[in-house]
Amino acid sequence: MIVDKVQMVGGEVGPTYEVIISQTRYVERQTRNKTRIVACGVSLANAEDLGKWMGASEHTVFNFSPRFVDTIPFLLLYLFIAFEFFSARPLDMAIHIQSFTINHFPSLMIAMSKPVYLAIKEHSPTKPVVIFVPSRRQCRLTVDDLLTHCAADEKPDLFLNIELEDLQPHLDHINDKSLVETLKHGIGYYHEALDKQDKRIV
């Protein structure tokens, strides 16, 4: 059984994950047929506890350090902010982690939007920033939050580091009209459902 996005056990769909995994382990014990559970997710603070609950031995739990770009711990900092985005980097990357202890996933996402905005302003006010979020829906919500914070500071184009005239030729070729509006303020988003051309332009 493959369990994807196992970090969601602590979120909204957590009870569903718990029931399915618990039932699978119960059936395994009753029928004496071994079931291998392969759980995949981002780095976790309690990976060993989670692994033990699923029946994994200490030697079969692999929880990678944040220095591996592909396993960035999304839930330690909402939206971990990467100021350099290369797996083999010629320059050192500065990592700033801010943890949160809110168990309710939607509340956690809301609570983290302002700290992310402030972190960008403090650590990378004029350079590009990549923010990783846990879902496609969260991409759009995060962009909306950032735009709201900019507007509240009376700087709606705070992240627009290009003349709009220079950006316009690119905007003319984007199919997603919502994306056009956010890019006009210097904030884009990228997820698997975007049109191929929109991805390339972003």
CA atoms within 13 A on the CB side of 56: 18
Given pLDDT bands bounded at 50, 70 and 90, which one contains residue 97? Answer: confident
The pLDDT, as a whole number, for residue 62 is 82
**Residue where the block lists tokens 């923010």:** 131
Which percentage of the chain shows pLDDT scores above 90?
30
Distance CA 124, CA 39 (A): 35
Which alpha helices (DSSP H) does the chain contain, by range? 14-31, 47-53, 105-123, 136-152, 164-171, 177-183, 196-201
* Domain 69-201 indexed as CATH 3.40.50.300: yes
Q: Residue 59: what residue type? A: H
Average the pLDDT over 34-61 and give the result: 82
Q: What residues pair up with 39 in beta bridges, in sequence order?
A: 3
What is the C-alpha separation between 110 and 141, in angstroms, rounded? 9
**Tens-digit pLDDT profile for residues 159-186:** 998 898 999 999 999 999 999 999 999 9
For position 128, what pLDDT does the model report? 85
Long-range contacts of 92-100 (CB under 8 A, 24+ apart): 94/123, 95/66, 96/123, 97/66
**pLDDT level of residue 51 (50, 70, 90 thresholds):** confident
The band of 189, judged by pLDDT with boundaries at 50, 70 and 90, is very high
Domains of the chain, residue spans: 2-60, 69-201
Does the pLDDT of residue 90 top 70, yes or no?
no
Q: Please indicate whether residue 72 or residue 106 has the higher confidence score (pLDDT).
A: 106
* CA 99 – CA 95 distance, rounded (Å): 13
Q: What pLDDT sits at residue 123?
A: 85
Which residues have a Cβ under 8 Å from the Cβ of 11 and sit 6 or more positions away?
105
Give the integer Cα–Cα distance in Å for 84 and 66.
14
Whether pLDDT at 84 is above 80: no
